[in-house]
Amino acid sequence: MRTLYLDRKNAELALDAGSILIRLPGEHPARVPLVGLERVIVKGEAKVSTALLAALHAADVGLLVLSGRRAEPTATLLGRPHADVRLRLAQFEAAREPAQRLAFARPLVLAKLDAQMRLLARALKARPDLRFPLTSGLEALAARKEAALHADLPALLGCEGAAAAAYFEAFSKLFPPALGMQGRNRRPPRDPVNAALSLGYTLATFAAVRALAHVGLDPLLGFLHAPAFGRPALACDLVEPIRAHIDEFVWRLFAERRLRAEHFRSDHTGCLMGKSGREIFYAAFEEELAALPRLLRQMASGLARTLRRMPLPEWLGC
């Protein structure tokens, strides 16, 4: 087991002889060995012992706490920190230079557009009845990709935004009208598809934050995404090229009716995925997208190698 998902009320987690001891009201305690575990995802109210927190840190196991009705990330433990401050200085210097930002940002956008185009092409084979909207989406993405090849940074961001709008206009046609999917929306998501997408992106972003921290980069300072209070901009950068994998995963969940409308409920605050839906989602995510954390680690390591080769200004004294 690489990920432990705990989505139960009033859970208590403690350390017991190299394992996580899980106590739930009215149930026998369960144990999950720390060996082989990479991350723990906790949803809702839970008590976590300080001894277990220390053990998670020592074992380099990440912890993500999702709280509230929207399952927003509210606390994280990333594992052992990296000690190479010179790498973070190189990251800060690169982020200050528009040309360097562009050099890092452009491949991310191009990779994202390629992934979106591959998804729409596969969807076209599966749904020839949707030839017009899917072909239109592919043509729009191809045009945005051509423009992105030569764009400066502001124009590149414009290309990415226009491509996202065209992509989701086509992607939304893959879902039954009853699901209410009419493009990407969030904070809060207003339909079941967007609720599932948001949860998938949240899990992927946590994996990206972990990967970046592991190699010694600052997840908050990105190249494609501008700095914003509390936003892990560099983690968001890394997630962009893999979003299409999550999109296809969510499409398959609904197309195969593993997720259905009855797994969600809507009120004035938006659309919420119920507990039974989350259980299905977590199990499928762990099985079908198991390669994503490894891919993100490879991306983070490649970025770190590139930054280490960059010279630092003399005033930094490194």
Which pLDDT score, from 0 to 100, does residue 230 have? 82
Provide the whole-model pTM. Answer: 0.91
Q: What does each C-alpha distance from 19 to 9, 16, 33, 51 come to in angstroms?
A: 21, 5, 4, 11
As a whole number of angstroms, the distance between CA 318 and CA 309 comes to 13
Closest residue by Cα to residue 256 from 212, 303, 288: 288
Segment 61-88 mean pLDDT: 81
What's the mean pLDDT when you consider all of the chain? 91
How far apart CA 60 and CA 34 sit, in angstroms, is: 10
Asked which of 72-86, 114-128, 180-194, 245-259 is least confident by mean pLDDT, the reply is 72-86
More confident residue, 266 or 296: 296
The number of angstroms, rounded, from the C-alpha of 64 to the middle of its chain's C-alpha atoms is 12
User: 316 vs 154, which has greater pLDDT?
Assistant: 154
Residue 263 scores a pLDDT above 90: yes
pLDDT of residue 314: 64
The pair of structure tokens assigned to 142 is 């191809």
Q: How far is CA 165 from CA 86, 274, 300, in A?
A: 39, 28, 27
Largest CA distance in the chain: 63
pLDDT in tens, 78-93: 877 777 788 999 999 9
What local confidence, expressed as pLDDT, does residue 123 receive? 97
Query: In order of start, what are the domains of the chain with their CATH numbers?
Result: 3-77 (3.100.10.20), 85-314 (1.20.120.920)
